[in-house]
Chain A
Amino acid sequence: MSYQEKRSLVNIASTILITALYAAFMMQRYPAADPYSREVFHFWGSFFLILIPISIVARILIYIVFSIFNYIATREEEPPIIDERDKLIELRAGQLSLYGFAVGVMLAMGSLVVEQPPSVMFIILICAGVVSEIISELAQFYFYRRGF
């Protein structure tokens, strides 16, 4: 398995882990108020705003740990070159990820159309973000494994 394939699997695991832990922590603070109240919207706003920096920092740390353990286990370093095939794979994976997120956004808007509370829309948006990230990493894993 190449370095890029292993990196994709680690990214999938870290995305699921970070989001699940963060959601489990934050949902304990979910306000016991009317689902359409300002408190609930404030909660979801801060949920998204805090998730972004936490996710970035945690992923960087996990990536550093992965690089160290991978080097110790295999003596394999991160490929020094990002060439045209890497860029194409990243673009294709990004495109597929965007399609996944677009479907999630439509589902989230659909939940409002069928008169679900706003929390359902926000939860669908979070799930769409996670799923689109997983699609991106799985696509990269597939393209690297296949060649392109």
Chain B
Amino acid sequence: MDKLVISNNIRRLRFDRAEMTQQQLADSVGVSRQTIVAIEKGNYSPSLELAFRIAQAFKVPLEAVFFIENSSS
């Protein structure tokens, strides 16, 4: 099965929210700033619950935050 590469728009969404800081986002979803950094860089794929909480923090649907970039074998 092809491996899905999940990417995200968190950096852009933070920018659109008056440069919301990583710490502010982390506080609003209840994780550490390092976890937000790891998600933003694409190093860590969050749980479904955390992904929804991040989308809720930005008041956008889940697919506006996370998307499948491409697929490779």
Of the candidate stretches A39-47, A56-64, A107-115, A140-148, the one touching chain B is A140-148
Q: Taking the complex as formed, is B31 at the interface, i.e. its CB lies under 8 A from any CB of chain A?
A: yes
Q: How far is the CA of A147 from the CA of B38 in the complex (A)?
A: 5
Q: How far is the CA of A148 from the CA of B31 in the complex (A)?
A: 15
**Interface size class, chain A:** 10 to 19
Tell me the minimal C-beta distance from A8 to chain B in angstroms. Answer: 14
Structural contact, B30 and A85, CB atoms closer than 8 A:
no
Structural contact, B46 and A84, CB atoms closer than 8 A:
yes
Q: Taking the complex as formed, is A72 at the interface, i.e. its CB lies under 8 A from any CB of chain B?
A: no
Q: Which residue of B lies closest to A5 (CB)?
A: B34
Q: How far is the CA of A146 from the CA of B41 in the complex (A)?
A: 10
The 21 sampled A-B contact pairs (Cβ below 8 Å) are A2-B34, A4-B34, A81-B26, A81-B31, A83-B30, A83-B31, A83-B35, A84-B31, A84-B35, A84-B47, A85-B31, A85-B38, A85-B44, A85-B46, A86-B32, A144-B34, A147-B37, A147-B41, A148-B38, A148-B43, A148-B44
Interface of B with A (CB < 8 Å)? 26, 30-32, 34-35, 37-38, 41, 43-44, 46-47, 50
